[in-house]
């Protein structure tokens, strides 16, 4: 049976981290399109699906990140950044789980698709974009500035 992790990957984390980034950013873009052009109601379900799958993939990314921290060489100067990255990841994951729950409630509800509600949902989603960016920036610093994960333990 072939190994689950390719030989060039130090662990699963770098293989899964791009899924939540893409899913959450795409959800926010779909929300933006919905607000700007007032597209059809099916966008509500599409965006909810993107946020739910984004939140689920954030959970996987967070767990694999915790495992990765124990399996790669971490230079001493990278410890403050890895702590920040972990904290931002936890906040981002928690916030996006909350968005997914909110979106599921909105999807179930009989409320209309008022412009005000769509703008509020967009604003909530744009916060998740900032959180994702901050988390990813610190993760990128760990790899490209400190070389974390380049050489295994």
| pLDDT tens per residue, range 19-55 | 999 999 999 999 999 888 876 778 888 999 999 999 9
pTM for the predicted model, two decimal places = 0.89
How would DSSP label each residue in 113-146?
Answer: --HHHHHHHHHHHHHHHHHHHHHHHHHHHHHHTT
In terms of Cβ atoms closer than 10 Å to its own Cβ (0-12, 13-18, 19+), residue 2 is exposed
| pLDDT tens per residue, range 56-87 | 999 999 999 999 988 888 888 999 999 999 99
How far, in Å, CA of 50 to CA of 85, rounded? 23
Residue 57 in 3-state DSSP? Answer: helix
Can you give the pLDDT at residue 112?
Answer: 64
């Amino acid at each position: 049976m072939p190994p689950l992790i390719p030989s060039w990957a130090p662990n699963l984390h770098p293989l899964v981290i791009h899924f939540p980034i893409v899913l959450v950013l795409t959800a926010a873009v779909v929300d933006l399109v919905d607000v700007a052009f007032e597209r059809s109601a099916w966008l509500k379900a599409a965006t909810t699906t993107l946020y739910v799958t984004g939140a689920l993939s954030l959970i996987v990314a967070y767990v694999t990140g915790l495992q990765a921290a124990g399996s790669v060489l971490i230079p001493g100067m990278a410890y403050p950044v890895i702590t920040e990255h972990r904290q931002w990841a936890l906040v981002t994951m928690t916030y996006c789980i909350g968005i997914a729950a909110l979106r599921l409630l909105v999807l179930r509800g009989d409320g209309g698709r008022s412009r005000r509600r769509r703008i509020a949902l967009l604003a909530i989603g744009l916060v998740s974009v900032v959180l994702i960016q901050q988390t990813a920036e610190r993760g990128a610093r760990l790899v490209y500035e400190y070389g974390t994960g380049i050489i295994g333990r």
